[in-house]
Amino acid sequence: MSIIKFLTSKVFFKQLALAVVAVVIFCFLLLKWLDITTNNGEFVTVPDLKGKSLETVEIELEDNDLVMQIQDSANFNPNYPKFSVIEQDPIAGAQVKENRKIYLTLNPSGYRKVAMPEIMRRTYRQAKPTLEALGFTLGEKTYIDNIGKDVVLGIKHKGKNIKVGDKLPLRSKIDLVLGNGKRASSN
């Protein structure tokens, strides 16, 4: 039998029809199976977790069939309690599948610590931007007799003397002891 006669025969068309029907049935069953196993069209709304403690977040996510994934802590935010959620991804109100990971950024327990820079024997005008750039706030200025006017002679935090290199929490209030430009009187 020649190939052309076979391609035009009834047997070939029956086989071709059976193959097409089998492929259509297979595709239909595959799509139905995928709909069932992937929960097609079923979504969970992500709750708003900002400002909540880890215990509360864990319960809420478990109730919504979502999974918690903690990312690294961020910079301390005084507007939120310690160890509470300050960011989440996906955002609150987003529609996601169940068992989706919700990535959380937590508020650390406090500001990170910063080393005191070398500002001794520098003028107040030089020391102020250095301290502010590191995140410290300036407190009181105390003047003592010294020929160097506005030269930093001492650094204090909460009444204690601070040395260069000592680590203090970010946003700490730094008090400076400065020279008043007068010679020290000798008695």
Region 65-80: mean pLDDT is: 81
Supply 111's token pair: 């500001």
Whether 108 contacts 143, CB under 8 Å = no
Q: Locate the DSSP E strands across the chain.
A: 44-45, 67-70, 85-89, 95-96, 101-106, 113-115, 137-144, 152-157, 160-161, 167-169, 173-179
* pTM, full prediction: 0.54
Annotated domain spans of the chain? 9-37, 44-106, 113-179
Question: 32-38, long-range: CB within 8 Å, 24+ apart, which pairs?
Answer: 38/97
Alpha-carbon distance 81 to 17, whole Å?
69
- In CATH, which of 3.40.50.300, 3.30.565.10, 3.40.50.920, 3.30.10.20 is domain 44-106? 3.30.10.20
In tens, the pLDDT along 154-187 reads 999 999 999 999 999 888 899 999 999 888 766 5
Q: What's the CATH fold of domain 113-179?
A: Trypsin Inhibitor V; Chain A (3.30.10)
